[in-house]
Amino acid sequence: MNDLSGRDGTLTRPDYRSRVVDSRLSKLLKAFGAVEIVGPKWCGKTWTALSRSRSVDRLDDVAVFAAAQTDPALVLMGEEPHLVDEWQDVPQIWDAARRHIDDNANRKGQLILTGSAIPKDRDAIHHSGTGRIARLRMWPMSLAESGESTGAVSLSDLFEGKFEPAECNTSIEDIARWCCRGGWPANLELDDEFALEIPGEYIASVLDISVPKMKKNPETARALMRALAVNISQAPKYATLAADMAYGDERREPDTQTVKSYLEMFKDLYLLTDLEGWEPPLRAKSRVRTKPKRYFVDPSLPAAVLGAAPNTLMRDTQTLGDLFETLCIRDLNVYLSAMPGAGNRIAYYRDDKGLEVDVIIELSDGRWGAIEIKLSDLKVNDDNADKLKSFRNKICGNPMAQVRDPEFMMFLTGRGGKAYRRNDGILVVPIATFGA
């Protein structure tokens, strides 16, 4: 167990860059005995946890790992909040943490746990931790966190009816760079030449280390990664993914259960996120029937799988547009993570007539907003605006359904210079002006 003092008595690293979830983490520590921070490797979970911790035990230390296997309670001792980093390597820590919290009268802010994968041996966990351990999801850095966005237009403000015009010129070249570099804290100060190597190394690490630890085949995992990258921001059927994994050779197609199993593994590693279909009211059958759209948690991952570079994406705007949509889903998830409410979610809309909206953000209190994603503000025109208005009229026009009007409707764009409100009330917001 390490007790190293930083500012305010915490273990904050001198060059720590604040994250959107910082305030949410502080709030949860005041409400629960422990907070579990989950997310993909390299996204900054440990440094964020250290910024609120006063002592730490790291499970990647051989001695600490051995102690935890002998008695999980040994790694729960230290000045509070005490951090247990990568706890999932010894799943018994979860139940020990729950007992530890109970033994200390459920005192708030005792522990922080970080995990970059769901424990493989889930049977070793017997209690849910409900009421004692809160969960906080982290993502790779958003553009506002990395400094590429001014954050002048706030998602939380939009739900409060607040909007002020803003400016920040962004080019297609900028979008291509951001998609390929990704939101990895390790590449913040690196030139493109070096930063563009990180996503490829991340993929290699997943295939060489994480996948075998999950008792899966790296080659099958690689094939599914490529199939997902080819179908990026789509809602592919299992059969489509299987066919793409086989590269056209029907004899090599995996069965549906294999595809499902490997998709679950990627979710367990926090590499994928699904967007479910949205339709009010809550019990609408289409919420269940609409296939989920699948996204990597960062656009640099599918870019690396496809071998894409900024200069090649400039000649393939279809792929760049799909990667930009992935970037927007990442940033929206980051900004939503700072907002209160356990039931907040991001979804998409598609009806049987072909009317589609890229993103619906729905808060747990029933407020919602609709977002269309466009690579360039040149694609923002009256025809596309009419589609948004048709959607609103369909959802809110039936008085029997009692669906409230959206708090906002918006075009979220890549290329662009100005965030403004159109005459019809629809917002146009470049991603480089957007934030929490």
pLDDT at 126 over 50: yes
pLDDT of residue 221: 97
Name which of 141, 136, 147 is nearest 111 in CA terms.
136
pLDDT of residue 209: 95
pLDDT at 125 over 60: yes
Q: Return all residues near 15 (Cβ < 8 A) that are at least 6 apart.
A: none
State the DSSP H helix or E strand holding residue 115, giving kind and residue range, or none if neither.
strand 111-115
Report which of residues 289 and 316 the model is more confident about. 316
pLDDT of residue 227: 97
State the DSSP H helix or E strand holding residue 112, giving kind and residue range, or none if neither.
strand 111-115
* CB 293 within 8 Å of CB 348: yes
Q: What are phi and psi of 362, to 5 degrees?
A: -120, 125
Q: In the structure encoding, which two tokens stand for residue 270, read together?
A: 């926090």
pLDDT at 297 over 70: yes
What's the full length of the chain, in residues?
Answer: 436
- 21 by DSSP, 3-state: which? coil
Chain centroid to Cα 198, Å, comes to 18
Name which of 374, 378, 371 is nearest 155 in CA terms.
371
Q: For residue 433, what is the DSSP state?
A: G
Lowest mean pLDDT of 32-36, 56-60, 122-126, 343-347, name the range: 122-126
- 317 by DSSP, 3-state: which? helix
**pLDDT tens column, 406-427:** 999 999 999 999 999 999 999 9
**How far, CA to CA in Å, does 35 sit from each of 38, 109, 160?**
10, 8, 28
pLDDT of residue 398: 74
**How far, CA to CA in Å, does 355 sit from each of 4, 275, 348?**
56, 17, 11
Categorize the per-residue pLDDT at 4 as very low, low, confident or very high, splitting at 50, 70 and 90.
very low
Categorize the per-residue pLDDT at 19 as very low, low, confident or very high, splitting at 50, 70 and 90.
very high
Chain centroid to Cα 349, Å, comes to 19
pLDDT at 280 over 80: no
pLDDT of residue 121: 74
Lowest mean pLDDT of 187-201, 248-262, 263-277, 286-300, name the range: 286-300
Q: What are phi and psi of 267, to 5 degrees?
A: -70, -40
Q: What type of residue is 100?
A: H
pLDDT of residue 7: 56
* CB 90 within 8 Å of CB 72: yes
pLDDT of residue 282: 52
Name which of 142, 136, 234, 220 is nearest 183 in CA terms.
142
Categorize the per-residue pLDDT at 223 as very low, low, confident or very high, splitting at 50, 70 and 90.
very high
**pLDDT tens column, 358-409:** 999 999 999 999 999 999 999 999 999 999 999 999 999 877 667 899 999 9
Domain map of the chain by residue range? 7-137, 143-187+271-435
- Residues facing residue 56 across a β-bridge: 2, 83
pLDDT at 331 over 80: yes
Name which of 148, 207, 361, 339 is nearest 275 in CA terms.
361
Q: In the structure encoding, which two tokens stand for residue 62, read together?
A: 């051989």
Cis peptide before 281, with omega less than 30 degrees from 0? yes
Half-sphere exposure of 314 (CA within 13 A, CB side): 8
**How confident is the prediction for the chain on average, in pLDDT?**
93
- Residues facing residue 18 across a β-bridge: none
Q: Return all residues near 251 (Cβ < 8 A) that are at least 6 apart.
A: none
State the DSSP H helix or E strand holding residue 244, giving kind and residue range, or none if neither.
helix 238-245
7-137 under CATH 3.40.50.300, yes or no: yes
**239 C-beta neighbours (distance < 10 Å), count:** 11
Q: How far apart are CA 366 and CA 160, in angstroms?
A: 13
pLDDT of residue 399: 73
pLDDT of residue 284: 57
**pLDDT tens column, 142-167:** 999 999 999 999 999 999 999 999 99
Over range 100-112, report the average pLDDT: 96
**248 C-beta neighbours (distance < 10 Å), count:** 8
Report which of residues 11 and 286 the model is more confident about. 11
pLDDT of residue 3: 42
Q: What type of residue is 240?
A: T
Conformational region of residue 6, where left means phi above 0, alpha means psi within -120 to 50, and beta covers everything else: beta
* CB 148 within 8 Å of CB 430: no
- Residues facing residue 368 across a β-bridge: 362
Looking at 283-316, list the stretches that DSSP marks H as alpha helix, in order from N- to C-terminal side. Answer: 286-289, 300-306, 310-313
pLDDT at 276 over 50: yes
pLDDT of residue 342: 80
List, as one string, the DSSP characters of 251-271: GGPPPHHHHHHHHHHHHHTT-
